[in-house]
Amino acid sequence: MIRGVRGAISIQENKEEEIIASTKRLLEEMIQANCISPESVASVFISVTDDVTATFPAKAMRLLEGWTFVPVMCMKEISVPTGIKLCIRVMMHVNTEAAQADIEHIYLEEAVRLRPDLKK
């Protein structure tokens, strides 16, 4: 069965190094928390707010060993006036036997405000 594994992180500045480092950190935490192998991933969607433009955050996935062939796409997040600024969101589509309640979604930095109900 395919399950969605969500994650989000906010950054301080729209700089390539920070976007890649923060996205890599988020991906690594999502992967570790849910025991995800690249072979189990159907695809990954990464969205960014309008103020994240210095680079494609998907570049961070290519720094992870074994993730070369996982399809990944970047897109813009809906611009909501009360939304979190400088935010990167990830939706990973994973083949897993885990129940939805057992999936650990990862929210870091200011992005914890997106889903405070999931904070462990």
Told to judge if 6 belongs to the known catalytic residues of this protein, a careful annotator would answer yes
d(CA 116, CA 25): 20
The tens digit of pLDDT for each residue in 90-102 reads 999 999 999 999 9
List the Cα angle 15/114/58 in 5-degree steps: 40
3-state SS of the chain: helix, strand, coil percent to 5? 35, 30, 40
* Catalytic residue (one of 13, 16, 35, 62): 62
User: What distance separates the 2 farthest-apart alpha carbons in the chain?
Assistant: 38
* Catalytic residue (one of 77, 104, 110, 113): 77
Told to judge if 25 belongs to the known catalytic residues of this protein, a careful annotator would answer no
Give the global pTM.
0.94
Domains of the chain: 2-118 (3.30.1330.40)
The tens digit of pLDDT for each residue in 19-76 reads 999 999 999 999 999 999 999 999 999 999 999 999 999 999 999 999 999 999 999 9
Q: Are 13 and 86 in contact (CB under 8 A)?
A: yes
